Every structure is written in structure tokens, then in C-alpha cells.
């Protein structure tokens, strides 16, 4: 044991005796002059030492030695231990799944050349100079020949620091055949990483059963470079593939990928021949949805559904980025707005460092789509006016594709909400999830449409106002328009309609909303109706409380008269009407309809009913609605919900199944002539509702 100067802050180093068999698993790379270092703990030994102390380290050492003596350091149930490469200074970023697919598709063994981008720099350590390479292997398989090779290798020195260089080069994947006769070819002996030169690399390839393929690859490269102009060195990243007897730890494949870096030149590819230096390289998985899902606690094997992000502002961009980091980026991002400097206060994207020289401009959707490409996704950006495009049936298929699972509306635009709510379910548009902030950022709202888009996003918005009006202690806070909501000056003669709040406050709600959407991704959207999820900021300004409310489907009734309107009756309003009808089994009865209406969607959204005034009269043949305190009661009702809900019309019952009577039609005509907005008369019959539009226009 070697105790560092920083002990006990740092853990002691543990080395094996001279002559110890370092071909065992769980031993660090070792050379002729080095002693092996056993891997006592899968993780950071310094952190383990702080938790468990010296007793923990000694206990782990005891367990390691016992397992080494018994030959059980590699457990087939756990998986094959890959060669330890944590200490490698060179690094290769590559998609391991993609490389394994190349091997599986050619079981007779082979080689494949790939494009390589690299960053190279020189360092000094211990008085010695050495080079490091960090490279990324692209999926583009190359057709390597004398004509193409000059354009594939390049090195550019940094003018300010000649020790730094970037460029393009070659990557070579080499793998053995799967069968020798009828027997699988396995590299079944564990060996630590001791390769230091080309001869050692060929010997390692011999152990893996792919020496002939490696020699073919070297010979082909040497032949191509023999006719090239003098140049180099360029890094060649070589990946040897070993087929192990069973799957690797943390992987369902027995194929182990072992990367190395060596230099080549032109016209003589390897001037030092077998003594050409070879450096083992570490591997890091390229950014893929699978990697992001794994790191986010999701199952990479689960199917991810396509979804659309409408609105790429502060809230929408954060939700999209949160989900993209979890491996579930939107397939489409939609926003006609452009980035301007004031967006830097809350947008998920960061402006360029030269903001003083370069205007942070361009479409928000394009900027967001480009940023998400860095997370391994490729969303399509749309710069259309979402409301206008959605409202036109021929155009909306571009923004709301039929194969999409859901569309998230984060625009806070009444026009976009109305347009989404007006799309008929028969059109095949995805279910809409709306995310928004209310009351100076004191509340966050997430609404989810039901199956067949019933309730739809406009039903849910009306129901939200009703919930906020009825919830104890919520009404006053929810419907108060604070001083931070409105048009904000963002330039001379320029303004933006928004809420003033910090990026942190927007992020609090955006993170919770993204988490809810991830949960839907794992479990699916509600299958028995819609949902309203309300988040409220605590008095401490730090805590968030969320409440979920299930919303049953609405009863949809066509309205007679004029153009095609519908009446969408909430379950709560429907139940209130049925209860009132049951109270008056031998008389017609009725009352007042309250809620919202949409002239874009041509629909009335009935959230509730108010009782008939005291001077109303009921008989078996007619119901006459009174007027006592009616105007006052309606004004008070609307006041309690910030005028978000209001008078829609009236309802009454018929004892027999029948349509509107002559008197009903006359009343509807008079009602339409006294109001500037459409009204509705709803008739309850023993077999269902009938609707009658009251609109002079």
C-alpha cells in the first residue's frame, strides 16, 4: 500500500506483488516494470474511503484476493469484465451499438473504414513530451482508395498555439469471423492492456482471432499511401473487436471493442515498422437517444413516440431541451418568432459570446432545432404562423402530422389555442397538451386532452377557470393580473407582451412539466378523459405544489340554426342538469348556462349551470325563466373568475322527446337580437339533448 501525501483525504494505492498473474480481471493496465493495481471498488476509491474508511478498503482487498484465488473475478451471471481503460489519455467517441451492428452483419470477419474527426494536442508530464488525441468516429463508412484518400486526411495547426491541431483522418474497425468450422471463435482469456507497439497490436489481434484481417487493413493503407506526397503524421484510430464467451457487464452483447491510436505517414505509412508506437485509447459512447435515456432512468428499449413542440420561447424551449436530454426530443418545433437580445433572460439557448458584434437573431424554431441536433436528434423546424397554418386543413398536416402522438402548445397564444381547439378529431391531429404560466408566474398549468380529443384543449381551459373559481383560497390569487404581466419595453419604440420573472422561476415549472411529459411517455396519456395539472408556487418562493384533476369527456350536442355550431357540456354541468330534471319529474324546468364560447371553433363550452331565478315558473307544458336578480347574479359569477366564464344561454327540459318548439325558436331569435355574441338554448329530453343557436348574425 502506498499512502499519498493527502491521506486521509485521498485513499491509499494498492499494488500487487512482483510476479503476480496480471492476466486476471479487475486489474489495471500493467507493463513489464509496473505492478498490477487491483480494482477493489467499482467507482471512485477516494469517495469510498471517505464513506467506509480503511476497514472498508481492507475488506474489499480481502474479497478481491479470495475471488482471484478461486478464479471467480469474472462472474458469467454478471458478465465479462471489459479491459480496464480508465487511465488511457487518448479518447475515442463512437457509437458502440453501430459498430457492433457492422460486426453482426458480416459474421465471416472483416474490416471497415470510417471517417474520423480529431483534436490533437501535445503535453509535457514528468519532463517528457507526449501527444494526446480525442477523436470521434462517424457512421459514414468509407470507400477507401487512391482517389479518395487525399481528401480524407488533414491536419490544421492552431496559429496561436502550434501544439494544438484539428483535422480529419481514418478509423478502422477489425473483427474476427464468428465460426471456425462449426465452433464459435471466442477470445476467452482475459488479459490486461499491455499493447505499446505495432507488433504487440498484431499479437493482441491474434488473440482475438482477427490477425489476418488487421494485416489486410495495414497492407491496403500502406499500398494507398505509397503513391502519395510526403505528409503526416496523422492519427489512425483502430478498433479491434473481441468476441467473448458471454455478454459484457452492463451490455447484452459479447463483443468487446478495444480502441488504439497509432500514427501513419506518407508515403511510408509506418516508418518504424513493428516498433511503431501504439497507445490504447478509452471509449466513450456517442450522444444517442439510448445513452440519454439510460442516464435519465428510462428504458432505451421502450419505443419513443413522436411529438411536436409548438412555441419555442422561454417555457417551450426549456421543456424541449429537458425532454431532448432524456432522449425524447420533439420531432417538430414550431415558432414564427425571431430571437432578440431580451430573450437571453429566460430562453433555454445561450446567445453567442460575441453578442455585441453578432445580433442574436433568426427564427426561434430554427435555433432550437439546431441546438437539439447536438443532443443526437434531428427535429424539423417550422417558421410558419402556427395559428394560421393549423386553421387551414390543407396546411396543418405539416405542423400536426397524423403519426405524431401529442402536440405540446407552449405559446401562451389565444390564437394558437383557438386554432388547436377548432381542429376536428376526424382530421387525425395528435392530442394537445398545453403548458402555460399564470398570475405573474405564481401558477403553472398543464392540460392534457382526452382520447379522441374529448375533452379538447378548449374544454380544458374552460374547466380550468371553473376549478380555479371553486377551489378554496385559489380564486383570488389565480385571477389577479399582477403588475409584472403586460407589454414590456425591450427597445426604443419596441415591446414584448410577456410576464416578468426570473429564468429560475420559469425553469422550476418547466422542469416539473417536462417530468410529467416523461411520465406520460412511459405510461401513456390518460385513457379515460382529460387532465388538468395545476402547480402553485409556495409563499416561500421556492416550493412547488402540484394537484392533478381528472376531467371526464364532454357531452357534445349539435346546435340547430345558422352555421354548424356545437354545445360541449362538461360532466359537472350535465350532472347538475340531470339532477334538476329529476327534481321536477312532472314539470319542465331549466336554468342558466355558463362557460365560454369560441367563434373560431364554433362551440359553446358549458362548465356549469346557475339555478333559475326565484320568479321562474314551471308546468308540464312550459318553463318560463324569471329575471329576479339575474343580471346581478351573472355579474357576480363572472367577477369570481376574472370574467373568464360568462353567460352562454339557457337550458330547459321537455317531458317528451321532441325538438325545439315554436316558442323556443321565437325565444332564440329574440335572444340573438339582444346580444352581440352568439348564445345557445339547450333542451333536455328523455333521450338526449337538443341545441338551438341564438345568433342574429
Per-residue model confidence as pLDDT tens digits over 442-484: 999 999 999 999 999 999 999 999 999 988 777 778 887 666 6
Indicate the DSSP class of residue 570. -
In whole angstroms, what is the distance from residue 515 CA to residue 521 CA? 10
pLDDT at 227 over 50: yes
Checking if the pLDDT of 485 tops 70, the result is no
Q: Taking the CA of residue 316 as centre, how many other CA atoms within 13 Å lie in the half-sphere pointing to its CB?
A: 27
- 188-223 pLDDT tens trace: 888 878 899 999 999 999 999 999 999 999 999 999
The three three-digit cell numbers of residue 526, written as one number: 390518460
**Share of residues in the chain with pLDDT > 70 (%):** 95
Q: Which residues pair with 407 in a beta bridge?
A: 308, 432
Is residue 260 within 8 Å of residue 281, measured between CB atoms? yes
- Structure confidence by residue, pLDDT tens digits, 544-582: 999 999 999 999 999 987 678 999 999 999 999 999 999
| Res. 487: pLDDT tops 90 | no
> In sequence order, what E strands does 42-127 have?
90-94, 110-125
Q: Is the predicted pLDDT of residue 489 greater than 60, yes or no?
A: no
pLDDT of residue 415: 93
Q: DSSP string spanning 631-660?
A: HHHHHHHHHTTTTSSEEEEEEEE-SSS---
CA distance 244 to 184: 10
The answer to whether residue 488 scores a pLDDT higher than 60 is no
Question: Counting Cβ atoms within 10 Å, is residue 303 exposed (0-12), middle (13-18) or buried (19+)?
Answer: exposed
Give the chain's mean pLDDT. 89
Among the CATH numbers 1.10.1060.10, 3.40.640.10, 3.10.250.10, 3.40.50.720, which is that of 305-483+501-551?
3.40.50.720
Assigned CATH topology for domain 555-694: Cytidine Deaminase; domain 2 (3.40.140)
What is residue 627's predicted lDDT score, i.e. its pLDDT?
A: 92
Contacts of 491 (CB under 8 A, 6+ apart): 340, 342
pLDDT in tens, 173-186: 999 988 877 777 78
Mean pLDDT, range 4-27, rounded to an integer: 87
- Report the predicted TM-score, pTM, of the whole model to 2 decimal places: 0.85
The C-alpha atoms of residue 509 and residue 542 are separated, in whole angstroms, by 11
Same fold, 305-483+501-551 and 555-694: no
CA–CA separation, 40 vs 164, rounded Å? 37
For residue 490, the model assigns a pLDDT of 39
By the 8 A CB rule, do 366 and 384 touch?
A: no
pLDDT reading at 433 higher than 60: yes
Q: How many C-alpha atoms does 86 have within 13 Å on its Cβ side? A: 9
Pick from 207, 327, 198, 356: nearest CA to 270: 198
Average pLDDT over residues 511-526: 94
Q: What is the pLDDT of residues 575-620, one digit of tens each?
A: 999 999 999 999 999 999 999 999 999 999 999 999 999 999 999 9
* Spatial CA neighbour of 424 closest among 458, 448, 385, 388: 458
Q: What per-residue confidence (pLDDT) applies to 315?
A: 96
Q: How confident is the model at residue 493 (pLDDT cuts 50, 70, 90)?
A: very low
Over residues 138-161, the mean pLDDT reads: 88
Residues 6+ apart with CB under 8 A from 443: 437, 477, 478, 534, 535, 536, 537
Specify the higher pLDDT residue, 628 or 495: 628
Which residues on adjacent β-strands are paired with residue 44?
none
What confidence tens digit (pLDDT) does each residue in 648-663 have?
A: 999 999 999 988 888 8
- Maximum distance among all alpha carbons in the chain? 109
Q: Which residue has the cell 350532472?
A: 575
Mark out the alpha helices in 271-341 (DSSP H runs). Answer: 289-295, 314-325
Domain spans in the chain, listed from the N-terminal domain onward: 1-73, 90-286, 305-483+501-551, 555-694
Buried b (16+ CB within 10 A) or exposed e, 366-375: bbbbebbeeb
Amino acid at each position: 500500500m502506498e499512502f499519498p501525501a493527502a491521506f486521509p483525504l485521498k485513499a491509499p494505492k494498492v499494488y500487487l506483488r512482483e510476479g503476480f498473474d496480471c492476466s486476471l480481471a479487475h486489474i489495471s493496465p500493467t507493463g513489464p516494470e509496473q505492478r498490477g493495481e487491483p480494482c477493489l471498488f467499482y467507482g471512485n476509491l477516494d469517495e469510498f474511503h471517505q464513506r467506509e474508511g480503511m476497514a472498508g478498503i481492507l475488506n474489499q482487498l480481502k474479497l478481491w484476493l479470495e475471488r482471484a484465488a478461486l478464479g471467480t473475478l469474472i462472474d458469467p451471471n454478471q458478465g465479462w469484465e471489459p479491459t480496464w481503460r480508465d487511465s488511457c489519455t487518448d479518447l475515442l467517441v463512437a457509437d458502440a451499438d453501430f459498430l457492433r451492428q457492422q460486426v453482426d452483419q458480416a459474421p465471416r470477419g472483416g474490416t471497415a473504414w470510417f471517417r474520423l474527426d480529431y483534436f490533437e494536442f501535445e503535453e509535457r508530464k514528468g519532463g517528457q513530451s507526449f501527444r494526446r488525441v480525442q477523436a470521434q468516429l462517424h457512421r459514414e463508412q468509407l470507400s477507401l482508395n487512391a482517389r479518395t484518400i487525399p481528401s480524407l486526411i488533414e491536419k490544421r495547426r492552431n496559429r496561436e498555439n502550434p501544439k494544438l491541431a484539428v483535422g480529419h483522418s481514418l478509423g478502422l474497425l477489425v473483427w474476427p469471423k464468428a465460426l471456425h468450422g462449426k465452433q464459435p471463435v471466442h477470445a476467452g482469456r482475459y488479459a490486461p492492456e499491455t499493447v505499446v507497439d505495432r507488433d504487440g497490436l498484431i499479437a493482441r489481434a491474434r488473440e482475438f482471432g482477427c490477425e489476418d484481417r488487421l494485416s489486410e487493413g495495414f497492407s491496403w493503407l500502406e499500398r494507398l499511401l505509397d503513391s502519395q506526397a510526403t505528409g503526416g503524421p496523422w492519427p489512425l484510430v483502430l478498433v479491434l473487436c473481441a468476441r467473448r464467451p458471454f455478454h459484457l457487464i452492463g451490455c447484452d452483447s459479447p463483443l468487446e471493442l478495444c480502441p488504439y491510436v497509432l500514427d501513419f505517414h506518407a508515403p511510408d505509412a509506418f516508418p518504424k515498422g513493428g516498433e511503431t508506437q501504439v497507445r490504447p485509447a478509452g471509449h466513450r459512447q456517442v450522444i444517442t437517444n439510448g445513452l440519454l435515456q439510460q442516464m435519465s432512468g428510462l428504458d432505451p428499449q421502450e419505443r419513443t413516440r413522436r411529438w411536436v413542440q409548438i412555441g419555442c420561447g422561454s417555457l417551450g424551449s426549456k421543456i424541449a431541451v429537458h425532454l431532448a436530454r432524456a432522449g425524447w426530443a420533439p420531432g417538430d418545433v414550431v415558432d414564427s418568432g425571431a430571437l432578440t437580445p431580451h430573450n437571453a433572460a429566460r430562453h433555454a439557448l445561450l446567445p453567442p459570446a460575441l453578442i455585441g458584434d453578432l445580433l442574436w437573431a433568426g427564427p426561434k424554431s430554427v435555433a432550437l432545432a439546431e441546438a437539439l441536433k447536438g443532443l443526437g436528434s434531428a427535429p424539423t423546424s417550422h417558421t410558419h404562423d402556427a395559428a394560421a397554418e393549423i386553421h387551414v386543413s390543407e396546411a396543418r398536416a405539416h405542423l400536426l402530422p397524423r403519426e405524431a402522438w401529442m402536440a405540446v402548445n407552449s405559446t401562451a397564444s389565444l390564437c394558437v389555442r383557438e386554432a388547436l381547439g377548432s381542429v376536428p378529431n376526424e382530421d387525425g391531429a395528435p392530442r394537445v397538451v398545453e403548458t402555460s404560466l399564470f398570475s405573474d408566474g405564481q401558477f403553472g398549468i398543464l392540460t392534457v386532452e382526452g382520447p379522441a380529443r374529448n375533452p379538447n384543449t378548449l374544454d380544458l381551459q374552460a374547466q380550468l377557470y371553473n376549478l380555479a373559481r371553486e377551489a378554496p383560497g385559489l380564486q383570488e390569487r389565480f385571477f389577479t393580473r399582477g403588475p409584472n404581466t403586460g407589454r414590456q419595453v425591450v427597445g426604443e419604440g419596441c415591446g414584448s407582451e410577456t410576464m416578468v420573472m426570473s429564468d429560475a422561476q420559469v425553469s422550476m415549472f418547466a422542469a416539473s412539466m417536462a417530468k410529467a411529459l416523461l411520465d406520460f411517455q412511459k405510461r401513456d396519456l390518460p385513457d379515460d378523459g382529460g387532465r388538468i395539472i395545476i402547480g402553485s408556487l409556495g409563499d416561500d418562493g421556492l416550493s412547488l405544489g402540484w394537484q392533478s384533476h381528472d376531467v371526464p369527456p364532454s357531452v357534445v350536442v349539435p346546435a340547430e340554426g345558422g352555421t354548424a355550431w356545437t354545445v360541449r357540456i362538461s360532466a359537472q354541468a350535465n350532472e347538475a342538469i340531470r339532477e334538476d330534471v329529476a327534481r321536477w319529474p312532472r314539470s319542465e324546468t331549466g336554468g342558466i348556462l355558463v362557460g365560454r364560447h369560441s367563434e373560431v371553433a364554433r362551440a359553446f363550452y358549458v362548465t356549469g349551470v346557475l339555478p333559475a331565478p326565484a320568479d321562474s315558473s314551471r308546468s308540464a307544458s312550459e318553463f318560463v325563466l324569471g329575471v329576479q336578480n339575474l343580471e346581478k347574479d351573472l355579474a357576480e359569477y363572472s367577477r369570481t373568475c376574472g370574467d373568464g366564464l360568462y353567460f352562454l344561454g339557457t337550458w330547459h327540459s321537455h317531458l317528451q322527446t321532441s325538438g325545439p318548439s315554436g316558442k323556443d325558436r321565437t325565444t332564440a331569435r329574440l335572444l340573438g337580437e339582444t346580444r352581440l355574441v352568439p348564445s345557445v338554448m339547450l333542451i333536455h329530453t328523455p333521450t338526449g339533448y337538443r341545441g338551438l343557436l341564438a345568433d342574429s348574425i
